[in-house]
Amino acid sequence: MRSLALLLAMTATAFAQPRGFNYDESKVPEYTLPDPLVMQDGTKVTTAEQWRTKRRPELVKLFGEHVYGRAPAGRLAKVEVERASALDGLADRYQVRLFVKEDAPPIDLLVYLPAKAPKPVPVFLGLNFRGNHTVHADPEIRITESWVPNDNGAKNHRATEAGRGVRSSRWPVESLLERGFGLATIYCGDIDPDTHDGFQNGVHAAVDGKDADRGPDSWGSIAAWAWGLSRALDYFETNEAIDHHRVAVVGHSRLGKTALWAGAADERFAMVVSNNSGCGGAALSRRAFGETVKRINTSFPHWFCDQFKTYNDNESACPVDQHQLVALAAPRPCYVASATGDQWADPNGEFLSGLHASPVYELLGKQGLTADTQPAPDTPVQDGHVAYHLRTGKHDITEYDWQRYMDFFEKRVPKK
């Protein structure tokens, strides 16, 4: 029955797509998804070895060439660490400056570890939107020196004390610490500014040089942000208080897209979490529901590689779709989450990506998503190595979401 349900779900037939965007499920265009277990030359992948040595590298290459852009090899040139007790003794706080070149601007990494938990501890790592100082009211967190967006969306804004802790609802630091987890975060703009600046700033300029020639598969901002997350993991490997084998990469919205690509490109991440990631994240591009490939490339031309723009209004021509991105987390646990009030991110398309990634998990000896249809709101499905929930509410990441991610981590990420 499961295989029949998968087969039926792989193809959706409906009416023509209207102009603009679509919120009507009956108007999802006809599409057929590329099989995650069929090579470009038509060879069917039937063993774990074939997946590991052939199909997985092929998919990573295809996503790099056609969606996110191909990033260079990475390394850290220098690290500066400041450690102190924090939050009335609940945490050890690390403020770490990562330098990808000696003369490059620093990438500021904020880490809280539970002070009394046995070491090393597992960690959730994710990017934030407006600066490390916004995730908690802790007065000792450095205010970011990078440009940040203001409330009107302008990018050329200097952070001030007024922003301290304003996004703390998205980062339940104490809840994580009390359950024995560390939390680490970087302001995405420290890695690459979230603006179409011609890639003249951030790690693009530091690594490639400002005058570098860019091809159709050159890395965009999402690839740069993912690259920066891997540099944080490089540092974790040097900190004996952190269990670098048990790091979950997590992201919300555009940073959820980033978390999925980071987990696909870097298998050192033990778990991957996509929260309301939508188009270019967990949502199937071929559904053209909510935000479409054309809309996202028009609004945010710096996020993806230029090649991705050739699939505007032409999603079926792309050799990959997002269920294959979820499959690249396999056999590691992957959590995809949606919200009822976030139709722009196509919750059903996000669920379907988890469903259609499941055959890869099953080939690798792990149970995939155990629901064949999207579950009711606030009823998480966590019985397999692909988890999903549809939270009641708007486009956001909340305490409810974090608690579910911690639950799943405890079930699926064993101690080494």
Q: How far is the C-alpha of 167 from the C-alpha of 150, rounded, in Å?
A: 13
Helices (H) and strands (E) in the chain, counts: 12, 13
To the query of whether residue 358 is one of the catalytic residues in this protein, the response is no
Distances (CA, A) of 233 to 49, 78, 191, 398: 26, 14, 14, 24
Q: How far is the C-alpha of 193 from the C-alpha of 185, rounded, in Å?
A: 16
The pairing of strands 157-158 and 334-339 is unpaired
Q: Cis bond leading into 120, ω under 30°?
A: yes
Provide the token pair at 43.
Answer: 């060879």
Provide the token pair at 271.
Answer: 């778990």
To the query of whether residue 285 is one of the catalytic residues in this protein, the response is no
Q: Cis bond leading into 331, ω under 30°?
A: yes
Helix-helix angle 221-236:254-265, to 10 degrees: 60
Selecting among 157, 196, 245, 395, the annotated active-site residue is: 395
Provide the token pair at 152.
Answer: 């009107």
What's the length of the chain? Answer: 416
Selecting among 146, 253, 285, 338, the annotated active-site residue is: 253
Other Cβ atoms closer than 10 A to 43? 12
Which residues are known to be catalytic? 253, 395
